[in-house]
Amino acid sequence: MSEHNPYGTMHATTIVTVRKGGKVIIAGDGQVSLGQTVIKGNARKVRRIGKDSEVLAGFAGATADAFSLLDRLEKKLEQYPGQLMRAAVELAKDWRTDKYLRNLEAMMLVADKSVSLCITGNGDVLEPEHGVMAIGSGGNYALAAARALVDSDMDAEAIARRAMEIAADICVYTNGNTVVESMDAE
């Protein structure tokens, strides 16, 4: 527990992305916890962003920080239309070098029709291996589940949903209230 917050740190979420069979999915749970208390069970941490909603985004971490980053990513997408990788790299550079942004505590998974990325405050812009990536409190559980299922006959959405169910069964900071966004992939 921090000296400013007697309840402990906010733990928010599990987000997973799966790219398979011509689809890209980002799924996330709805739980927001403060310390050992569930504050909200139906938060929407997965959404479409960009001028034509051409990018899927999911975030984990402090909600206000994540919304600030989503807003900045949208501005980068306006600057570099149709270039998610370039927009993400520019955001990561700003995040790493700007004194204000450096204090933001969040991570994002973003995807468009051609690429999926994880953007972190350390300046990382990472592409997933095997078309699967996850972040957040239950991210490792969802990642392991999705990796185990990606070679099965299940489609991308079924894999993402099952990975989220498994994470919710294991991680106390993840619930079964899953939001899924989908788009066609190249």
pLDDT, position 177: 96
- Whole-number average pLDDT of the chain: 89
Give the three-class secondary structure for 104: coil
Ligand-binding site membership of 168 (annotated): yes
Q: Please count the other Cβ atoms lying within 10 Å of the Cβ belonging to residue 71.
A: 10
Predicted TM-score (pTM) of the model is 0.90
Place 100 in a pLDDT band, splitting at 50, 70 and 90.
Answer: low
State yes or no: is 13 an active-site residue: yes
Ligand-binding site membership of 171 (annotated): yes
Separation of first and last alpha carbons in the chain: 45
Ligand-binding site membership of 118 (annotated): no
Domains, the chain, with CATH or none: 10-173 (3.60.20.10)
More confident residue, 75 or 122: 75
More confident residue, 7 or 49: 49
Q: Give the whole-angstrom CA distance, residue 159 versus residue 183.
A: 15
- From 9, 13, 63, 120, the catalytic residue: 13
The residue among 142, 174, 184 whose CA lies nearest residue 30 is 174
Quote the tokens at residue 106.
Answer: 């969040």
Sorted by sequence, the CB contacts under 8 Å of residue 178 that are 6+ apart come out as 27, 28, 29, 30, 161, 164, 165, 168
